[in-house]
Structure 1
Amino acid sequence: MNGHLKRKAGFILAVSFILLCFLFILSAALGKASLPPARLLETLLGNGTPREELILYSFRLPRMLITMLAGAALAVSGAILQSISRNPLADSGILGINAGAGLMVAVYAMVFTPQSSTFLYMVPLFAFIGGMTTAGIISAISYHKTEGLDPMRLVLAGVGMAMAMSGSMLILASQFDSREYEFIAGWLAGSIWGNDWNFVMALIPWVGILIPFVLWKSNVLNLLNLNEGTSAGLGVKVGKERMLLLFVAVALASAAVSVSGGIVFIGLMAPHIARSLTGPRHQHFVPVAAVIGAVLLLAADTAGRLMPFTTSVPAGIIVTLIGAPYFMYLMVKK
């Protein structure tokens, strides 16, 4: 039985990855200046014109990689949060973690100059401080001495914190000049603003280290998904493991939104889709969720770029148009 589930999960992961590759080619080829597949291949092989190389390597590829890394990070973060809180509605955006991270990014951008050499690498760290502070507050509000985290209270506290943090960002933005205000408004809308190779290099260490760590902790997550007494009876140090995994979930979400803007619902939808395809074991569905998260955010960003408007529609708005009805469906169902 386990072998069958493992083969099924591997097949679904392979299909998801093929879908991501197809979408990657489509996204690289389409835009205001199109690159037909034949010319795209030639450019990738180093035989493109200077204009084609500029379009692909300076504009499209870094933005697409940022989008995929952020989507994967948000999806895995959502999977962790849903498991450690035993709440199917948990998501870093819904719980206010993204907004807390964004508020700290705004504060950092206001105090420190964006032109400094360390700015790109410090942004995810400051986002993590904001996200972790928010997570600590909502956990304290939602914790019950005998029952642990109350799932419904967690969502309500998270929604309240998200609104409070977003409001604080707007108040802070009112003190900025027009260019800085435009950045805050774009971040709140979920615009992919980190779109060059430096941002890719700043995000890769967070995703490349933390997602494999989550896969290594898959069995612990399987046990934490049970009730607290059962998990402790099976030898899991519930408090320690939950805090460690919360730390990882916040780090992934904060690093992602520090360069991708206030994206909500990826961490809600991707784990649910993956779990429905592969089953509840984390070693099976977490890798699939990561790929689906990358697919969802890349598809949203590509669709936003191709809209027939003078400016592109932020990916966060596209995701929200899909995610909000899905969230309401899950609330009714669960």
Structure 2
Amino acid sequence: MIHPSVIKRQRLFFFGIITLIIGTAIISMGLGYSSVSYNRIIPTLFGEGTFKEEFVIFSIRLPRIVITILAGMALAISGAILQSVTRNDLADPGIIGINSGAGVGIAVFFLYFPIDATSFIYMLPIIAFVGALVTAILIYLFAYSKKVGLQPIRLILIGVGFSMALSGAMVVLISSSEREKVDFIARWLAGNIWGTDWPFILALAPWLIVLIPITLYKANRLNLLSLSEPVAIGVGVRLERERLTLLLIAVALAASAVSVTGGIAFIGLMAPHIAKAIVGPRNQLFLPIAILIGGWLLLLADTIGRNILEPEGIAAGIMTALIGAPYFIYLLLKRN
């Protein structure tokens, strides 16, 4: 039984982070190369703005804000799933190579296949999923042992190796490509939020609408998978089936996110840890908080990054790495 005080704290932080997201979004709407006065944001959202104000907010700022929030949510819950399934607090889709696998899939598709502009946006999450899935299967096979099962530390090390190898493969792929296509892949590698139009939201949102409720429904299974294998099997969990199902969900969420945001790492590492520190390790409690924290972290990173240096700014992936890399090292040292 969950203590009422913990539930109360969870609800308090839940609505507090929603308020934080809304506040950051409003700040983000007003900042940028073409600034909008803050006292004009609310009237503009209700259709009382000038043509310039409506164009800046509805065509440039708002879709980018929604994309970063959705992608951050997807990466956060993907990281939470991976940490529970592998029983390793250092797991993250960007660190263990899943994002890189999605990137190679997108690079091959973008560089060598004919692109139909009408279907390109909606094909990207599927292509990214295929690339990430192949990578995840290979990492899983290399980290699995018939004698001891899945080895969490080995999975992290193999994943890091795959991530580096796939990043190198992307450099090889773009080395002889056209300048325009090379620029796109380079921006993707840096984690530059490039899918900033409403159609990209329509391409990303269905993945979250379907997969996040499934994950929340399986929260208790994730609790059991976080325990030792004998305990999970003893209470009736079909270990390999649940693992594979949840890994597929994690891969799909991460791939759909990075297909429109580029190579973003560390969101899936930080958000679950912060959520667990707030409400404890039960998935029923911390998953909703982690989802919101992930959305806010990526929104904050993008808002800061795009306003540091004008007009291009600093890629959100670089901003998250500046925060996440020291945090990863801290967690690594803490475990030893």
Contact 2:216 / 2:284 at 8 angstroms: preserved in 1? yes
Look up the match of 1:244: 245
Contact 2:33 / 2:310 at 8 angstroms: preserved in 1? no
Q: Could you tell me how far apart the structure 2 residues matched to 1:309 and 1:19 are?
A: 25
Q: Where does the alignment leave 5 or more consecutive residues of structure 1 unmatched?
A: none
Residues 1:301 and 2:302 aligned together: yes
Contact 1:300 / 1:315 at 8 angstroms: preserved in 2? yes
Look up the match of 1:38: 39
Contact 1:170 / 1:184 at 8 angstroms: preserved in 2? no
Contact 1:274 / 1:292 at 8 angstroms: preserved in 2? yes
Q: Deviations over 1:125-156 (max 9, x none)?
A: 11001101111111111112232211111111
Q: Could you tell me how far apart the structure 1 residues matched to 2:35 and 2:117 are?
A: 34
Contact 2:63 / 2:196 at 8 angstroms: preserved in 1? yes
Look up the match of 2:28: 27
Look up the match of 1:179: 180
**Structure 1 residue 115, shift from structure 2 partner:** 4.1
Q: Could you tell me how far apart the structure 2 residues matched to 1:61 and 1:169 are?
A: 31
Secondary structure of the corresponding residue to residue 263 of structure 1: coil
Q: Deviations over 1:170-228 (max 9, x none)?
A: 11111221111011111110000111011010000001111111001001001110001
Look up the match of 1:153: 154
* Equivalence map 1:109-258=2 (5 Å): 109-258=110-259
Secondary structure of the corresponding residue to residue 117 of structure 2: coil
Q: Could you tell me how far apart the structure 2 residues matched to 1:11 and 1:29 are?
A: 28
Contact 1:113 / 1:119 at 8 angstroms: preserved in 2? no
Q: Could you tell me how far apart the structure 2 residues matched to 1:326 and 1:255 are?
A: 25
Look up the match of 2:272: 271
Q: Amino acid of the residue matched to residue 90 of structure 1?
A: A
Q: Could you tell me how far apart the structure 1 residues matched to 2:122 and 2:310 are?
A: 33
Q: Amino acid of the residue matched to residue 205 of structure 1?
A: P
Secondary structure of the corresponding residue to residue 118 of structure 2: coil
Q: Where does the alignment leave 5 or more consecutive residues of structure 2 unmatched?
A: none
Residue-pair matches, total: 334
Look up the match of 1:73: 74
Q: Could you tell me how far apart the structure 1 residues matched to 2:316 and 2:68 are?
A: 9
Secondary structure of the corresponding residue to residue 118 of structure 1: helix
**Structure 1 residue 309, shift from structure 2 partner:** 4.1
Greater mean deviation of Cα atoms: 224-233 or 5-14:
5-14
Secondary structure of the corresponding residue to residue 328 of structure 2: helix
Q: Amino acid of the residue matched to residue 209 of structure 1?
A: V
Contact 2:100 / 2:132 at 8 angstroms: preserved in 1? yes
Q: Could you tell me how far apart the structure 2 residues matched to 1:247 and 1:158 are?
A: 16
Q: Could you tell me how far apart the structure 2 residues matched to 1:280 and 1:132 are?
A: 27
Q: Which ranges of 4 or more aligned residues in structure 1 deviate by more than 6 Å?
A: none
Q: Could you tell me how far apart the structure 1 residues matched to 2:187 and 2:120 are?
A: 19
**Structure 1 residue 2, shift from structure 2 partner:** 3.0
Look up the match of 2:49: 48
**Structure 1 residue 310, shift from structure 2 partner:** 4.4
- Between the aligned residues of both structures, percent identity stands at 50
Look up the match of 1:262: 263
Contact 1:16 / 1:292 at 8 angstroms: preserved in 2? yes
Residues 1:95 and 2:96 aligned together: yes
Q: Could you tell me how far apart the structure 2 residues matched to 1:310 and 1:50 are?
A: 22
Q: Amino acid of the residue matched to residue 13 of structure 2?
A: I
Q: Could you tell me how far apart the structure 2 residues matched to 1:309 and 1:116 are?
A: 29
Q: Deviations over 1:79-116 (max 9, x none)?
A: 00000000000000000000000110111112334443
Q: Could you tell me how far apart the structure 2 residues matched to 1:310 and 1:198 are?
A: 24
Change (3 A) 1:292 1:305: same
Q: Could you tell me how far apart the structure 1 residues matched to 2:32 and 2:11 are?
A: 33
Q: Could you tell me how far apart the structure 2 residues matched to 1:237 and 1:254 are?
A: 26
Change (3 A) 1:302 1:11: same
Residues 1:329 and 2:335 aligned together: no
Residues 1:317 and 2:318 aligned together: yes
Q: Deviations over 1:52-86 (max 9, x none)?
A: 11101111111111111000000000000000000
Contact 1:80 / 1:221 at 8 angstroms: preserved in 2? yes
Contact 2:98 / 2:132 at 8 angstroms: preserved in 1? yes
Q: Deviations over 1:217-265 (max 9, x none)?
A: 0010011100011001011111100000000000000000000000010
Contact 2:33 / 2:311 at 8 angstroms: preserved in 1? no
Q: What TM-score, normalized by structure 1, do the two folds share?
A: 0.98
Q: Could you tell me how far apart the structure 1 residues matched to 2:116 and 2:54 are?
A: 26
Secondary structure of the corresponding residue to residue 185 of structure 2: helix
Q: Could you tell me how far apart the structure 1 residues matched to 2:66 and 2:176 are?
A: 33
Q: What TM-score, normalized by structure 2, do the two folds share?
A: 0.97
